[in-house]
Amino acid sequence: MRVIDALPVQWQNSLMSFEPRHKKDFVLNDLIQLRVRKQDVLLSKAVSKTIYVEVRRKFEKAPTAQARFTDQFFNSPLDWKAIYKLPFKVAMDTKTCEFQYKILNKCLPTNSFLYKVGLKPSPLCTFCDEESETLKHLFIYCHVTEKFWLDFISWCNKLNISLDELTDIDKLLGIWERNEDFLLLNHLLLIAKQHIYDCRNNYKSTCPSLRVFNSKLNYIYQTESMVMKSNNKEQILIPNGGNM
Ligand SMILES: [Zn+2]
């Protein structure tokens, strides 16, 4: 019943020097103090969890991809906790969340990687055939994608979703709270990125287009509306206009 007694002595000693940082940490701190005073302690499930989180925190390492993004965008402070949470806040389906997870961990396969492992005959970009197809090139620097992003921005503005520009951070990590349409905009951005990626996977490798993006968006809207209706939840209103 005593979770702390069940821990290896080395862990117990490291927990003794533990300093509370968050509100819930005070529970653990009190528990340690009580144990030091040799008093009986009632251990709840929540306390076990707190101990688990504290022990795990000592062994946690930031993903290598995170350090590479931090180097890439060294001029901008990045809130990684919020960046990791964002896809789960704005998308309903696991496929979309997984897609952004792969981008954040730089493990979304592109021609540059597929060529190295012998699965593609060339590392060049599917759309422009001019430069190595890395994540950065595919979503930011490719002139074909760039044209799609310009169309995307003007389409958003046509729908009264205010969007002046898309920075490199916006395109890869998400748009941060610059306007009231922050959640909707990030949802649209995720679908747009999926559309770009899907285009390179097509049999004919077609270039990303707003027309195909719109039909995909319409399909997602219909599906999610049906899911919400069947769950008896209120329907989310998407602004009218454009090609929706
Ligand atoms: Zn390209």
DSSP annotation string for 61-112: ---HHHHHHHHHTTTS---HHHHHHHHHHH-SSHHHHHHHHHHHTT-S--HH
Nearest-angstrom CA–CA distance, 50 and 26:
10
Q: How far is the CA of 151 from the centre of ligand 1 (A)?
A: 17
Q: How far is the CA of 157 from the centre of ligand 1 (A)?
A: 26
Q: Are residues 111 and 186 in the same domain?
A: yes
Q: Are residues 124 and 23 in the same domain?
A: no
Buried b (16+ CB within 10 A) or exposed e, 161-186: bebeebeebbbbbbbbeeeebbebbb
Residue 159: DSSP 8-state: T
Q: Are residues 216 and 148 in the same domain?
A: yes
Cβ–Cβ under 8 Å, residues 213 and 191: yes
In a domain, 242, yes or no: no
Cβ–Cβ under 8 Å, residues 111 and 122: yes
Nearest-angstrom CA–CA distance, 90 and 85:
9
Q: Are residues 157 and 196 in the same domain?
A: yes
Nearest to 163 by CA among 147, 174, 175, 146: 175
Q: How far is the CA of 150 from the centre of ligand 1 (A)?
A: 15
Orientation of helix 94-104 relative to helix 80-90, angle to 10° = 160
CB atoms inside a 10 Å sphere around CB 81: 8
Q: Please give the tally of structural domains in the chain.
A: 2
Q: How far is the CA of 173 from the centre of ligand 1 (A)?
A: 20
pLDDT of residue 103: 96
Q: Are residues 105 and 226 in the same domain?
A: yes
Q: Which two tokens stand for residue 220?
A: 């997602």
In a domain, 239, yes or no: no
In a structure prediction context, what are the per-residue pLDDT tens digits for the chain, which is 244 residues long?
466 677 777 776 666 655 555 555 555 666 555 555 444 444 444 466 667 777 777 777 888 999 999 998 988 889 999 999 999 998 888 999 999 999 999 999 999 999 999 999 999 999 999 999 999 999 999 999 999 999 999 999 999 888 888 999 999 999 877 667 888 999 999 999 999 999 988 766 689 999 999 999 999 889 888 888 888 765 555 544 444 4
Q: Are residues 86 and 172 in the same domain?
A: yes
Q: How far is the CA of 130 from the centre of ligand 1 (A)?
A: 6
* pLDDT tens by residue, 133-186: 999 999 999 999 999 999 999 999 999 888 888 999 999 999 877 667 888 999
Q: How far is the CA of 124 from the centre of ligand 1 (A)?
A: 8
Orientation of helix 25-36 relative to helix 9-16, angle to 10° = 110
Q: Which two tokens stand for residue 99?
A: 């897609």
Domain hosting 35: range is 3-57
